[in-house]
Structure 1
Amino acid sequence: MSDAAILCRFEAARSIVRDAADLAMAMRPPPGGPSGKQKSAQDWLTEADGAVEALISERIGALFPEDGFQGEEEGRTRTGRLRWVVDPIDGTSNYARGRSRWCVSLGLMDGDQPVAGIIQAPALHETYTAVRGHGAFLNGRPIKASPVTDTRSAMVEMGWSNKVPDGIYAAKMAAILELGAMPRSGGSGALALADVACGRLDGYLEMVINLWDVAAALVLLEETGARFSPFLRDGGLDRGITLLATAPGIATDLAVALAVPLD
Structure 2
Amino acid sequence: MDRDLAAARELAAGLAVRAGRLQLERHDTLRVGAPKAHANDVVSDVDIASEQLIVEAIREAFPDDAVQAEEGHGRTGNSGWTWVIDPLDGTRNYISRTGPWSVCIALYQGEQARVAVVHEPVAGETFSAVDGGGALLNGQSIVASSGPPLAEALVGVSFQPNPATKERAGKVIRDLLPVSGDIRRLPAALNLVYQAAGRLDGGLCLDTNLWDIAAGALIAREAGVILGGHGEDFTTELTIGAAPGLWPTLSERVRATA
Give the alignment's TM-score, normalised by structure 2: 0.89
Separation in structure 2 between the aligned mates of residue 5 and residue 258 of structure 1, nearest angstrom: 38
* Unmatched tracts of structure 2, length 5 or more: none
Separation in structure 1 between the aligned mates of residue 195 and residue 141 of structure 2, nearest angstrom: 14
Matched position secondary structure for 1:24: helix
- Do residues 67 (structure 1) and 65 (structure 2) align? yes
Q: Name which of 243, 249, 252 aligns with 1:253.
A: 249
What residue is the counterpart of 1:15 in the other structure? Answer: 14
193-202 or 158-167: bigger deviation: 158-167
Separation in structure 2 between the aligned mates of residue 178 and residue 235 of structure 1, nearest angstrom: 25
* Unmatched tracts of structure 1, length 5 or more: none
**Shift in CA distance, 233/82, structure 1 to aligned 2, threshold 3 Å:** farther
1:132-166 per-position Cα deviation (integer Å, ceiling 9, x unaligned): 12111111211111112311110112123234354
- Do residues 55 (structure 1) and 60 (structure 2) align? no
1:175 maps to amino acid:
D
Deviation at 1:5, TM superposition (A): 2.3
What residue is the counterpart of 1:228 in the other structure? Answer: 227
**Shift in CA distance, 216/167, structure 1 to aligned 2, threshold 3 Å:** closer
Separation in structure 2 between the aligned mates of residue 127 and residue 191 of structure 1, nearest angstrom: 11
Deviation at 1:23, TM superposition (A): 1.4
1:38 maps to amino acid:
P
Q: Is the CA contact (8 Å cut-off) linking 1:29 and 1:96 kept in structure 2?
A: no
1:2-34 per-position Cα deviation (integer Å, ceiling 9, x unaligned): 3x5222222222222221211122122379xx9
56-65 or 175-184: bigger deviation: 175-184
**Shift in CA distance, 158/235, structure 1 to aligned 2, threshold 3 Å:** closer
**Shift in CA distance, 134/115, structure 1 to aligned 2, threshold 3 Å:** same
72-81 or 17-26: bigger deviation: 72-81
1:65-110 per-position Cα deviation (integer Å, ceiling 9, x unaligned): 1111110111631324111100000000011123450111000111
1:227-250 per-position Cα deviation (integer Å, ceiling 9, x unaligned): 1115998794xxx41111111111
Matched position secondary structure for 2:35: strand
Separation in structure 2 between the aligned mates of residue 253 and residue 194 of structure 1, nearest angstrom: 21
What's the % identity of the aligned pairs? 30
1:208-227 per-position Cα deviation (integer Å, ceiling 9, x unaligned): 01100111112111111101
Size of the aligned set, in residue pairs, is: 254
What residue is the counterpart of 2:116 in the other structure? Answer: 117
